[in-house]
C-alpha cells in the first residue's frame, strides 16, 4: 500500500488530497467526501482508517479536502453545495486519469454533508458509478413527497 500527498486546482483554489494505491493495478476506486467542517482525515482518523482498509481490500482511495476545508485553499464561508459538487467532480476527474485506477469502477462515499454532495455529483458525472452515503442528513417529509411524486404512491409498514 502506498500513500501519496498531492493536490490539484479547481476554480483557482488548491485542493489537497491523499491518494492511496493498492498492490493491484487498474483497481476499483473510491473517493471519500468529508462532512461540514470536516476534512480528509475526519474525527478519530475515520477516513484514514477507512482508506487503508479499503486499500487492503484492493481498492484505490482518494481522500481530499473541499476548498476552504482542511489544508485546501479557499474560504469556507464562501463554499456552497454546488461548489462542493464541483470539487468532487474535479477530484473524480483527477482520479479517472490515474493509470492505477479502473476508469469504469469509480465510486464515492460521502459522510454527513459529503453524503448530500455525493449523489448530487453522481447525477451530473457519469464517471461516478456507485454512491454510498454515511451518516447523511435527510428530511424525511421531503423524501416521502419525492417518492410519492416518482412512484405515485407510498406505503410505510409499521
What DSSP string runs through 44-111? Answer: GGHHHHHHHHHHHTT-EEEEEPPTTSTTS-S-GGG--HHHHHHHHHHHHHHHHT-TTEEEEEEEEEEE
Residue 109 falls inside a structural domain: yes
pLDDT greater than 90 at residue 100: yes
Residue 96 falls inside a structural domain: yes
Range of the domain at 58: 2-151
Cell of 137: 442528513
**Domain count of the chain?**
1
Please enumerate in sequence order all residues whose Cβ is within 8 A of that of 26, keeping only pairs 6 or more positions apart, or say none. Answer: 99, 100, 101, 102
pLDDT greater than 90 at residue 140: no
Q: Are 96 and 17 in contact (CB under 8 A)?
A: no
Residue 157 falls inside a structural domain: no
pLDDT greater than 60 at residue 158: no
Region 2-24: mean pLDDT is 91
Confidence tier at 157 by pLDDT (50, 70, 90) = very low
Residue 156 falls inside a structural domain: no
Can you give the pLDDT at residue 156?
A: 47
Longest dimension (CA), the chain: 51
Q: Are 102 and 29 in contact (CB under 8 A)?
A: yes
Residue 158 falls inside a structural domain: no
Residue 64 falls inside a structural domain: yes
SS3 state of residue 35: coil
Can you give the pLDDT at residue 151?
A: 63
Confidence tier at 65 by pLDDT (50, 70, 90) = very high
pTM of the model: 0.85
Q: What is the CATH number of the domain that holds 70?
A: 3.40.50.1820
Amino acid at each position: 500500500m502506498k500513500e501519496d500527498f498531492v493536490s490539484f486546482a479547481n476554480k483557482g483554489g488548491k485542493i489537497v488530497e491523499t491518494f492511496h494505491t493498492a498492490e493491484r493495478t487498474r483497481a476499483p476506486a473510491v473517493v471519500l467526501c468529508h462532512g461540514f467542517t470536516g476534512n480528509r482525515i475526519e474525527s478519530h482518523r475515520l477516513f484514514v482508517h477507512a482508506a487503508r482498509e479499503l486499500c487492503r481490500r484492493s481498492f484505490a482511495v482518494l481522500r481530499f479536502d473541499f476548498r476552504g476545508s482542511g489544508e485546501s485553499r479557499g474560504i469556507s464561508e464562501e463554499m456552497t453545495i454546488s461548489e462542493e459538487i464541483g470539487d468532487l467532480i474535479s477530484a473524480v476527474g483527477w482520479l479517472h486519469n490515474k493509470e492505477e485506477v479502473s476508469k469504469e469502477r469509480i465510486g464515492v462515499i460521502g459522510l454527513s454533508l459529503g453524503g448530500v454532495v455525493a449523489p448530487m455529483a453522481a447525477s451530473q458525472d457519469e464517471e461516478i458509478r456507485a454512491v454510498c452515503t454515511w451518516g447523511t442528513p435527510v428530511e424525511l417529509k421531503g423524501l416521502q413527497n419525492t417518492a410519492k411524486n416518482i412512484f405515485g404512491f407510498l406505503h410505510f409498514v409499521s
